[in-house]
Chain A
Amino acid sequence: MPDEVLVIGGGIAGIQCSLDLANAGVKVVLVEKTPTIGGKMAILDKNFPTLDCSICIEAPKMSEVGKHPNIELLTLAEVVNVEKDGGDYVVEIYQKPRYVTSECSRCGLCVDVCPVLLKNEFDYGMAARKAIYTPIPQSEPGAYVIDIDNCLNKPPNYLPCDRCIQVCGPKCIDFFMKPKLIKKKVKAIIVATGFEVFDATRIPDYSYGVHPDVLTSIEYERLLQSTGPSGGEIVKPSNGKHPESILFILCVGSRDPRYNRYCSRFCCMYTIKQAVQTKEHGIKNVDILYMDIRAYGKGFDGFYKRARDEGIVFIKGRAGRVIPNGDKLKVRYENILEGRMEEKEYDMVVLAVASEPPPDLAKLAKILGVELDEDGFIKTIPVRGKMVATTREGIFACGGASGPKDIADSVTEGGAAASAALEYVKEKSWPQEEYKETIPTEGEVRVGVFVCHCGSNIAGVADVKRLAEEAAKIPGVVHSEDLRFACAGVYTKYIEQVIREKNINRLVVAACSPKTHTTVFTGAAMRAGLNPYLFEMANIRNLDTWVHAAYPKEATEKALDMIKMAVAKAKLMKPLYVVKLPVTRRALVVGGGVAGMAAATSLARQGFETYLVEKESQLGGLVRYLDTIAPEEIRASDLLEEMERELYNSGVKVILGAKIESVSGYIGNFMVNLSNGMKLDVGAIIMATGAKVYQPHGELQPNGGQVITSLDLEEIFKNGGNPDAKKVVFIGCVGSRYDSKGCSRFCCQVMIKQAIKLREMGKNVFVLYKDIRTYSRKAEELYEKARALGVRFIKYDPEKKPEEVIKIEDNIVHVRDELLGEEISIPADLVVLNVGLVPNDEINSIAEQLKIARDEAGFLLELHPKLGPVESMVGGVFLAGAAQNPKDVREAITQGLAAAAKASALLAKDTIDKEPLMPRINYDKCTYCQRCVQVCTFSALRGELRKSLELISALCQGCGNCSAECMVGAMEAPGFTDEQIIAQIDAALEERPHEKAIVFACNWCSYAGADQAGIEKLQYPPSSRVIRTMCSARVSQKFIMRAFEKGAAVVMVTGCWPQDCHYNYANLNTEKRFKQWRKLLEARGINPERLILHWNSAAESKRWAAKMKEVDELIKKIPREEIIETVQKIGGGKK
Chain B
Amino acid sequence: MSKALLVNIELMEKMAQLTSNVADYCYQCGTCTASCPFNILKPDTLNPRKIVRRALLGLPYDDGSLWLCSTCGLCEVKCPWSIRIPEVVRGYRQLASESRKIPQKLEEILWMIYEDGTAFPGSSIERTVWTEGLKIKDASREKVKVLLYIGCAVSFDKRLQKIAKSLVNILSKVGVDFGILGREEKCCGDVVYNIGEDAFLEELATQNIERFNKTGAEVIIAISPHSAHMFKRIYPKYGLKIPSQHYIEFIADLIEKDKIRLEKPVDGLVTIHDPCYLGRYLKIYDEPRKILSSIPGLEIIEMKDNKENAVCCGSGGGRHFLEVHGERLSHYRVMEAAETGAKIMVAPCPFCIQNFEDSVKVKRLDINVKDIIELVNLSVS
Contacts and interface: CB of A to CB of B under 8 A. Distances in A.
Interface stretch (A475-483, A520-528, A783-791, A1030-1038): A783-791
Nearest to A820: B53
Contacts of B44: 339-341
B34 A334 contact: yes
A824 B4 contact: yes
Interface in B1-54: 1, 3-7, 9, 12, 16, 21, 24-31, 33-36, 39-40, 43-44, 47, 49-50, 53-54
Interface in A676-730: 727
Interface stretch (A57-65, A314-322, A930-938, A1091-1099): A314-322
A819 interface: yes
Nearest to B3: A823
A951 to B, nearest CB: 58
A336 interface: yes
Given A340-B43, A824-B4, A787 B25 contact: yes
A317 B34 contact: yes
A333 B24 contact: no
Contact of B1 (A291, A727, A790, A825): A825
Nearest to B47: A339
Nearest to A826: B7
Interface of A is mostly: strand
A332 B34 contact: yes
Contacts of A319: 31, 34
Given A334-B47, A766-B7, A318 B29 contact: yes
A809 B1 CA distance: 11
Which of A334, A764, A792, A822 counts the most chain B CB atoms within 10 A?
A334
Contact of A257 (B9, B43, B59, B81): B81
B298 interface: no
A339 B28 CA distance: 11
B57 interface: yes
B121 interface: no
A339 B53 CA distance: 12
Given A205-B78, A258-B80, A788-B25, A827 B7 contact: yes
Nearest to A318: B29
Contacts of B31: 318-320, 334
A824 B57 contact: yes
Contacts of B26: 787
A814 interface: yes
Interface residues of A, number: 47
Chain B interface size, under 10 / 10 to 19 / 20 to 34 / 35 or more: 35 or more
B312 interface: no
Contacts of B3: 822-823
A817 interface: yes
A1026 B276 CA distance: 72
A553 interface: no
A341 B54 CA distance: 18
B302 to A, nearest CB: 13
B53 A819 contact: yes
A337 to B, nearest CB: 10
A824 B6 contact: yes
Contacts of B82: 258
Interface string A893-905: 0000000000000
Given A205-B78, A336-B49, A320 B6 contact: no
A788 B54 CA distance: 17
A375 interface: no
Given A727-B9, A820-B54, A318 B30 contact: yes
Contacts of A823: 1, 3-5
Interface in A305-324: 316-321
Nearest to B33: A334
B56 interface: yes
B54 A321 contact: no
A317 B50 contact: no
Interface string B58-94: 0100000000000000000010111000000000000
Contacts of B49: 334, 336
B9 A807 contact: no
A343 interface: yes
Contacts of B36: 341
Given A320-B35, A334-B34, A807-B1, A792 B43 contact: no
Interface string A792-824: 111100000000000101000010010110111
Nearest to A766: B7
A291 B43 contact: no
A257 B79 CA distance: 10
A291 B29 contact: yes
20 contacts: A255-B80, A258-B80, A317-B29, A318-B31, A320-B33, A320-B35, A333-B34, A334-B30, A334-B31, A334-B33, A340-B44, A341-B39, A343-B43, A787-B25, A787-B27, A792-B56, A793-B27, A823-B4, A827-B6, A827-B9
Given A320-B78, A793-B27, A824-B59, 7 more contacts: A332-B39, A333-B34, A766-B7, A790-B21, A792-B12, A795-B28, A826-B7
Interface of A: 205, 255-258, 291, 316-321, 332-334, 336, 339-343, 727, 764, 766, 772, 783-784, 787-790, 792-795, 807, 809, 814, 817, 819-820, 822-827
